[in-house]
Structure 1
Amino acid sequence: MSSRPKSIDFHAHFSDPVVFAKTVPHNVMSGFGAKVPPPDAPRIARQLDPQLQVADMDERGIDMHVISSSQVIVGTWWAQAKEADELVRRQNDRAAEWVARYPQRFVGAFDLPLQNMDLALRELERATDQLELKVANLPAGWGKDYLGDARFHPLLAELERRDVLCFIHPDGTKDPWYQAYGMWNSIGQSIEEVKVMTSIIYNGIFEIHPALRIVVAHGGGFLPHNMARLDRNVTNLPHSMANISRKPSEYLRNFYYDTCVYDADVLAALVKSVGVDRLVMGGDYPVGNDPLEFLRGADFLSAKEREAVVVGNAAVLLGF
């Protein structure tokens, strides 16, 4: 960046067209192939074209997008490790191309093939050192394991060592029950965010890796609003404290959160729980709302606080 942006949307999606076509039939948005093309296909297709995306940014008055693949559409959880690695590498190459084409408008996030830690660590090195992508785009986990589980500890250690900013965006609950009524989206994503954050907290990840920087999509889902039950177990179920030295609620400020919560009252509660300095603007482009318009309606924020959420906090995290 030659100059500091005035607005940064941290939650904006893009995809390589080949990866998109290959992965859509396997993921939750299409009902694992039952609905191809997926609902809202015209809007979703806008994540395939950087020129269209820049035009939408101009219309909204947004200077910069942090572009990440939408894991619920193009997640590679279903693939064998070799195929996942090939798809991820292609996706990451495309992110670097978008950034090279519009360096003032895009910051690139990279995916990793979590099926195999050796491949994931190799791609992490390539994405950061060769492609110069700034953000690791992570699902809630892989298989039955969430990111706090032991199989991911080498990855988290390397992310901390390299000071890579992480963005956790779940790739969707695989339980078919959630496919009814679009519940994979309406409640499933928030539940997955609860599970991954709880996994990170209770497995003591911030005790082991205190410098790890993590932004959680969708305002952290339900967890920031339910911490009293976890804190109650400090005395009711003391074995829950096996790996942590503080009350669970005291780890909320180890995370950052985007503002994609769709309700100003929910955002106000999140501010009360974690503080304005832990929030970055996020609109879930191209399927979410206009994040600047949403924040203009958050009248509990002062002008200084709104500026911090719109640009300042993300600018610091991204090193501008």
Structure 2
Amino acid sequence: MLDFHTHFIPPEVIVWLQEHQKIINAKWSQKDDTKEPFLTINEKWGFELKKGFIDGEYYLTEQEKAGVSHSLISPIPQLFLYDFPEEITTEMAAIYNHTLADWTNKTPQKLSALGTVPLINPDKAAQVLNQAMNLGLKGVIIGPGLSDHMLSDDIFIPFFEEANRLHAIVFIHPLLCEDPRLKRRMMPNLIGVPWETTVCATDILLSGMIDLYPNVKILFAHGGGFLPYQIGRLDKGYEQWGLVSSKLKAKPSEYLNRFWYDTVLWSPDSIDFLIKTVGEDRVVPGSDYPFDLSMWPPKEFNTKGASSIFV
């Protein structure tokens, strides 16, 4: 069994965070004696530093116990550091990418990895993507855009051109939604996270950029958010409005199988619907290990999507 959605923080990254804690406003706090310390960056997105995040041997042991034969590791979204100057984000990316590459290159039968890039400067992000893949990484994980830019905006052309040239995996992972209506009952995580993916995925689809960059292997987290479920509404809009259809060569539903989707949905019926809607060769198994809402242990699942995205 494969696991395409896991996260890890190498020891060298932890050391960097400690050395730069004032610059990035990193804080460690103990919320509960029964839990590990929580790490918060710049007053956002605090998370528990579980052993699975930071102990490589423990990570591998847990994957093996769960029956996972190969894991694709990603940096954690909290450390994309898009809120900080380019120099800080680039430095973090370099350390993260080199250390993940070193680890996975030593155990290629068990591990692959994605890197992170300074998305705030798409030209630099393209360079860092190239460097990451030269190190042996399979591509990168990025957020759903920046505070003032969607991924379909022209500023990201250099990044997607390079990703297209390299046939890179681009795993689009949401950050916690900051909609003020969601600041209760854990809704930023429960529905804000898939909503961020929905907005990003819909914008990418309707922008026509997948026709411009057919070699980019775009993977959406958490089953693509709500996009597969509402694709009929997009098709209806395609028939009704020129603003929806003007940049597309076919109706939106015909683009769904141009992307990949993980199975972090926690519902067999939802996974079955996703497979039926986008095709089993576009769905990859994932767990989101070791975050609180991970599907752990992951469910046994076909690897046709894994085979197609790794080609």
TM-score interval for Structure 1 and Structure 2 normalised by the shorter chain: 0.7 to 0.9
Q: Is the 8 A contact 1:20 1:74 kept in 2?
A: no
Indicate the residue corresponding to 1:313 in structure 2. 305
**1:12 and 2:12 aligned:** no
Q: 1:19 to 1:67 in 2, by over 3 A?
A: farther
Q: 1:30 to 1:243 in 2, by over 3 A?
A: farther
More helix by share: 1
Deviations 1:163-203 (A, max 9, x none): 11221111222335434222121111111111111111111
User: TM-score by structure 2 length?
Assistant: 0.86
Q: How many pairs align? A: 292
Please point out which of 71, 88, 93 is paired with 2:98.
93
Indicate the residue corresponding to 1:302 in structure 2. none
Identity of aligned residues (%): 29
Deviations 1:106-145 (A, max 9, x none): 101010101112211221121112x121121111112221
Please point out which of 224, 229, 235 is paired with 1:220.
224
Indicate the residue corresponding to 1:301 in structure 2. none
Matched to 2:96, the amino acid is Q
Instruction: Give runs of ≥4 in structure 1 deviating > 4 Å.
Output: 19-26, 29-36
Deviations 1:196-221 (A, max 9, x none): 11111111112212222111110001
Q: Is the 8 A contact 2:237 2:244 kept in 1?
A: yes
Q: Distance in 1 between matches of 2:199 and 2:158?
A: 20
Could you say which structure has the greater relative contact order, defined with CA pairs below 8 angstroms and 6 or more residues apart? 1
User: TM-score by structure 1 length?
Assistant: 0.84
- Of residues 234-243 and 249-258 in structure 1, the stretch that sits farther from structure 2 once superposed is 234-243
Calculate the aligned-residue CA RMSD, in Å: 2.3
Gaps of 5+ in 1: 1-6, 296-305
Please point out which of 183, 188, 191 is paired with 2:195.
191
Q: Is the 8 A contact 1:75 1:171 kept in 2?
A: no
Shift of 1:148: 1.7
Q: 1:54 to 1:155 in 2, by over 3 A?
A: same
Q: Is the 8 A contact 1:234 1:240 kept in 2?
A: yes
Gaps of 5+ in 2: 28-37
Please point out which of 277, 281, 285 is paired with 2:289.
285
Please point out which of 90, 105, 117 is paired with 1:112.
117
Q: Distance in 2 between matches of 1:106 and 1:247?
A: 37
Alignment of 1:162-177 (within 5 A): 162-177=166-181
Indicate the residue corresponding to 1:64 in structure 2. 70
Alignment of 1:1-320 (within 5 A): 7-15=1-9, 16-18=13-15, 22=21, 25=26, 38-39=46-47, 41=48, 43=50, 45-71=51-77, 73-129=78-134, 131-287=135-291, 288-290=294-296, 292=298, 294-295=299-300, 306=301, 309=302, 311-319=303-311
Shift of 1:33: 5.4
Name the SS for the 1:270 alignment partner.
helix
Shift of 1:225: 0.1
Q: Distance in 2 between matches of 1:315 and 1:20?
A: 36
Indicate the residue corresponding to 2:34 in structure 1. none
Q: 1:10 to 1:112 in 2, by over 3 A?
A: same
Matched to 1:225, the amino acid is Y
Q: 1:177 to 1:32 in 2, by over 3 A?
A: farther
Q: Distance in 2 between matches of 1:55 and 1:118?
A: 39
Shift of 1:49: 1.8
Q: Is the 8 A contact 2:122 2:157 kept in 1?
A: no
